[in-house]
Structure 1
Amino acid sequence: MTSTELYAKAHDLETLANDVEGCVDPAKTVASSPDWDCDNATDVRDALKHWRSAAQNAARNLRDEAARVRGEARKAENREDEAREEREREREREAR
């Protein structure tokens, strides 16, 4: 993959991490409301805390992967730059 593709992949992973991290928040907000009450409200709230924690862990893992991919993108970018410079040096040699 090119550095551009890898940077795009890292960006997509970050975006996904943000989405995953917030996916439980709307339900948790409603369940935390004093207006929301039912026989199993405490159980639901506890379950939502668990799922929110799981979502945060998944988001952290996605961000770790995004950081790894960004590192690969930087390495690819360096290789691309070196290859470009080598081609330019080769052209200069041929022009002489």
Structure 2
Amino acid sequence: MSRVCELTGKGPMVGNNVSHANNKTKRRFLPNLQDVTLGSDILDRRFTLRVSSAAMRSVDHRGGLDAYLAKAKDDELSPKALKIKKDIAKAQATA
């Protein structure tokens, strides 16, 4: 399972551990990913996504999964999230 947020595209970063003696060794900074079940009001369904904590705050701030995906850029979303976004857009067009 890849360590990439399905909504923001946030992934691991690289950096250095720096000791007191200023020795540097490579390390990875991993995003805080959680398996979360988010609900869509328009589709009346629930989806399980692997999302970072920052993305969960953004979803809450924008007013839910539907509003977040409406404003999200397609290149940041995972294929699963992109399919949800297209299903929501289709449901809004028919309603």
TM-score norm. by structure 2 comes to 0.28
Q: Which has the higher helix share?
A: 1
Higher relative contact order at CA 8 Å, sep ≥6: structure 1 or structure 2?
1
Structure with a larger share of its residues in strand: 2
TM-score by length of 1: 0.27
If you compute each CA radius of gyration, which structure gives the higher value, 1 or 2? 1
